[in-house]
Amino acid sequence: MAKKKVSRSPGSSNIPKGYSKMIQWCLNNNIAIAITPDWSKTFEDWKIEIKINEKVHVDPTVYKTENVHNKMYEYYKYYYDKYNKTHKQ
């Protein structure tokens, strides 16, 4: 008998106003941020993976469903502010 596949989703969220350009800039510059399940915890627990130029970093903090999207957007803003040279002028 085949094993039942389990999947999880943190659901969707509205992108905060002004963040679309930051997210697109990051993606265009090989910075991607993803929400992933923390399989060792409950269905409400999530991790955030940050991929920069093919190197993956995992935030060690475990986030709950209600705040994981906000943290993801916070990371996009952080990397946009840190690396976008035209934004700093």
| DSSP codes, the chain | -PPPP--------PPPTTHHHHHHHHHHTTEEEEEEE-TTS-TTEEEEEEEETTEEEEEEEEEEHHHHHHHHHHHHHHHHHHH-HHHH-
pLDDT digits (tens, 9 = 90+) for 5-52: 678 899 999 999 999 999 999 999 999 999 999 999 889 999 999 999
Residue 5 lies in a domain: no
Residue 68 lies in a domain: yes
What mean pLDDT is predicted for residues 60-88?
93
Q: pLDDT at residue 61 above 70?
A: yes
> Residue 58's pLDDT is what?
97
Residue 14 lies in a domain: no
Residue 75 lies in a domain: yes
Residue 43 lies in a domain: yes
> Residue 88's pLDDT is what?
58
Q: How many domains does the chain have?
A: 1
Residue 31 backbone class (left: φ over 0; alpha: ψ -120 to 50; beta: rest): beta
What mean pLDDT is predicted for residues 77-82?
96
> Residue 87's pLDDT is what?
63
Residue 42 lies in a domain: yes
> Residue 86's pLDDT is what?
79
Range of the domain at 73: 19-88
Residue 71 lies in a domain: yes
Residue 74 lies in a domain: yes
